[in-house]
Amino acid sequence: MPNWVTNKIEAPEHVIRAMLNSEGRVDFNVAAPFPGPNDDWDGIYGDAETAAESVLGVALSNNPRLAMMERSSRERIDIAGMREESFRQFVGMLENYRACGYLHSMDFARKVWGTKWNACEPIAEPDEGRCKFYTAWSCPTGALIKVSERFPDDVIAVTYADEDLGSNCGTFTLQAGQIVTQDIAPNWRDLTDAEKAKWEAFAREVTGRGLEPDEED
């Protein structure tokens, strides 16, 4: 299971509405849709992805152990012996890469949105100029930058906090697709005890964890 990050966005009403799909939910596909031609798969076949990465010469992981495993998988891949479903997806990944440089929508999401899944449990209040949602592992900075690029005259204020209280949290503001101010928690190991207490309190306020029920947002 991923760590869930609480994200709170404040922006003019029209900016918040531009983040919503036809059902009124925060949807990163509205801000930054996957540009490849093949995006109707229910899941990703590991052998199809490995074959595509091998053919395209995608760089191995920077982690030596993971790189060794990836190299071994690529050496064992047998395109001729793949199941039909895997082979068709492999071809589709090559078509995607040729069209946009990404194998599939999750590859795109990780690299462009900044998180591998869409917004979860969103609460949108455009009339109030705010919305809240959860994401896996990280704040979707890339998706929010795409929104900001569409509205260069407007400021978007972002507050986020990981459920690992005190780490991976902070605030930043965007304008014209650029981060113009930020206050982000440093690496936990680099913090003094006072700084740890400060960022843990910040994260508790953002996430509502450890607060009394009537104090939660």
pLDDT tens profile 38-92: 988 989 999 999 999 999 999 999 999 999 999 999 999 999 999 999 999 999 9
Angle at which helices 64-76 and 46-56 pack, to 10 degrees?
Answer: 100
Task: Specify whether the CB–CB gap between 166 and 185 falls below 8 A.
Answer: yes
Interval 172-191: pLDDT, tens: 999 999 999 999 999 999 99
> Is the pTM here over 0.75, yes or no?
yes
Supply the Cα-derived Rg of the chain in whole angstroms.
20
Q: Averaged over 195-216, what is the pLDDT?
A: 82
CA distance 67 to 206: 37
**Contact status, residue 145 vs residue 15, Cβ threshold 8 Å:** no
Q: Residue 2: what pLDDT? A: 81
Closest CA to 203 of 163, 147, 151, 172: 163
